[in-house]
Each structure stands twice: as C-alpha cells, then as structure tokens.
Amino acid sequence: MKKMLLTGVLLALSGAGAVKVGALLPLSGAGSVSGQAARNGYLLALEEINKAGGVLGRPLELEFADDGSSPAKAVPEFVKLVTVEKVDFMVGGVSSATSIAISGPAKQYNTFMAWIGAAAVPVEDAFADHKYFFHYHPWSYYNFEAILDYFKHLRVTKKARNIAIAYEDGPFGSAGIGDTVAAFKKAGFNVVMTEKFKTGSGNFGPIVSKAKAARPDIFYWVGYDTDALPLATEIKQQNLNVGLIYGTPPSWPVGFEKNRLADNVAGLSLWLPTSPNAQSRAFVNAYRKKFGNVTEEYFAPLAYVNLKTLAAAINKAGSTDKDKVAAALAATNTQTPFGPLTFTKSNKTRYQGFKAGSWLSFQYLGDDRAPVYPLKFAKKTTVWGK
C-alpha cells in the first residue's frame, strides 16, 4: 500500500486533515491489466483535483490496496483500509469475485463505495440493499444487450447463425450464462456449444476441438486478459474456421495488438482513445502529458471519471457526511470520455451510471483496435473470417 500525496500542492491547501479515499484494485494477478490502468487513471485525477484546490479546501489523499485478483486477499485489504487507514470513501472494485467477497464487511461498516467494475449480476444482488453503493460500469446484462445487437447485425450482413460459447468458471463468466444462451436462442441463433474453463489455465485444446466439430459462425468467449493469447494460439494451431472470434475480457493483454494472432479478433470496450468527443480528447492529452503514452484500456478513463465525480460531489455537499455526498453524487450530470454520466436505478441497485448505449465493438485490424459497431461509431467494416 502506498500513500499518494502531492506534497508541493498540499502546502498551498489548508492545514486541515486530508480527505482520505481508499482504492481497492487488482494490481497483481489475473485482473492486473485493468487494475494498473485504473491506478493510472486515479493518479491523473488526483493530481488534477489537488492542483485545483483539493476537496473542501483540504488535500485529497488516495490509499491504494492490491486485492491480488483474489477474494481471499481482498477482504483483509478492504477491512484494513476502512478500519486502520480510516478512509472516508472507497473507490475501485474491478473484479466481481472480490466485490462479492467484500460485500459483507462493506455493509457491516456502512462503507461509501463508488465502484468502477464488477459487472456480474451477483454483485448487483449483493449490494442491492446498500444505500451508499454507486456503480459506474454497466452491469453484465447491459454488456450483453450491446453484444446481442452487434450479433444481430452480423446475422443480417454475414448470415451468422451458429454461436459457440466458452466462459470462465467464476462469477464474471458463469453468472447468467443460462440467460445468455436463452437470449441468443430467442434472437434466432443456434448455440452449438457451451463450455466452461478455468481462467488463467491456458488449457483451451479440448474447447477448441469441440468448437471445431460444432462449426460455429461466431466463437464467443468470456474470461480475462490472461486467457486471450493462449486461446488465440490454440484457435490458430487447430485452424478453427470461424467468421468471428469475439471476447469480452475487462482488459486485453498489453501489446496484444502487435501479435499477429490478434488479427481480426473482436471485443467490447467502453472507450477507445480515438473517441472524438472533447472530454476524451482532453483525457488523452492529459494522460499523454503525465505518463508519456496513450492507454487503450477503458479502466483508466473510468477511474479518472470515478474520482473526479466523487471529488465534485464532496465539494458540492460541502461535507464528508455520507448522506450529503450520496445526494450530491446521485445528482451528477456531466460529460465524460464515455459520454454523459448520470445515475439512475438499475434492476436492483439505486445508483447505476453507464448502461448499454456506452459500449462499442472493436476489431484488431493491423496494430489498432478499430471500432466496427455501432455503425455510427464505426471506422472500419467488420472483417468476417468465412
């Protein structure tokens, strides 16, 4: 855990104690690409917030904790932030499994949580009765709504009919898989395979063999970035003849676009740095100035938006009182790199931020992620492998 303070800036702020925010992230383990991207987004936001005067005339202080992509590690790290570090608010939360694990202590300590990830419906169930839970990332049914819309487009334009599904065995991949299959069937697709795998195992030989026998038009997989390369390798080695390989990891492996195995692989993202809106351009410029490069991981701008809006709500509330900050954050109506952000009810929780309309599908074409759907955002036409 490392305390992040902008010392020089803080000297200009009042002598009052800092407002403390805890950030629980997967800085190591299977979800670390997303976690590291989020960390950079938070650091950029923290710098801007404190340069602008902090919150309530006090510095904002950010305490990072690494959940290791593991529920067993997430719980003590979360409890330590809340009880030992005595943070005023919590941000972060990429993994569904770790978020479910901390739901008990979160409610026990009545913790204020502005959460950026954890899309699985069991997380929504776990926090349905928690009045200080703000969820920025779309829930999985919003994600699927966007995917299904794209696949329907491929059914019309590419005659796609048969879908093979591979999914990781944790909450992220497994929760709602029955509903996913039913929705595909209801939309007129044939689900020719559903196979579960253990994320990070790299053992995709049997799954790809079954897919090859099932002859799908679309190979659809739900897992993490660690699964992308071994799966693409196995598909290449077995010469799976498929129209589209479509994955939904929260992040993709660093440098995946440089590997020729990535060619034509498609996926889902809330954001790409080529997004033309003014807030996205400003974020890209600020990120490049601070870090010397440009990220393609949407968890970086998502974390940035997360901390900036929380800080704005604290200032608007004029207090760190949780009820007052919750009321202020609930009234958020602002432009972001993803488009407008407001909070409304989801199926079960009080405060849901982004929904299905924020997603876009992209395809690795050359060394780039090119938006291919929705058509109004597309810069390239989908490359179909059959």
Name the residue with tokens 């702020």.
13
| Mean pLDDT confidence for 180-207 | 95
Per-residue model confidence as pLDDT tens digits over 257-272: 999 999 999 999 999 9
Per-residue model confidence as pLDDT tens digits over 107-156: 999 999 999 999 989 999 999 999 999 999 999 899 999 999 999 999 99
Question: What gap in Å lies between CA 115 and CA 82, rounded to an integer?
Answer: 15
| Mean pLDDT confidence for 28-33 | 89
Per-residue model confidence as pLDDT tens digits over 279-338: 999 999 999 999 999 998 999 999 999 999 999 999 999 999 999 999 999 999 999 999
pLDDT of residue 16: 62
Range name among 20-24, 192-196, 232-236, 274-278 with the lowest pLDDT average: 274-278
pLDDT of residue 275: 83
Q: Among residues 40, 36, 47, 58, which one has the least CA distance to residue 5? A: 47
pTM: 0.87
pLDDT of residue 326: 98
Share of the chain above pLDDT 70, in %: 96
| Mean pLDDT confidence for 4-22 | 62
Which band of pLDDT confidence, cut at 50, 70 and 90, is reported for residue 14? very low
Neighbours of 196 (CB within 10 A): 13
Question: What gap in Å lies between CA 17 and CA 56, rounded to an integer?
Answer: 10
Per-residue model confidence as pLDDT tens digits over 247-259: 999 889 988 999 9
Q: Residue 145: CB partners within 8 Å, gap ≥ 6?
A: 356
Name the residue with tokens 């010392």.
7
The H helix count followed by the E strand count for the chain is: 13, 16
- What are the backbone dihedrals phi and psi of residue 168, each rounded to the nearest 5 degrees, phi first? -75, 155
pLDDT of residue 1: 45
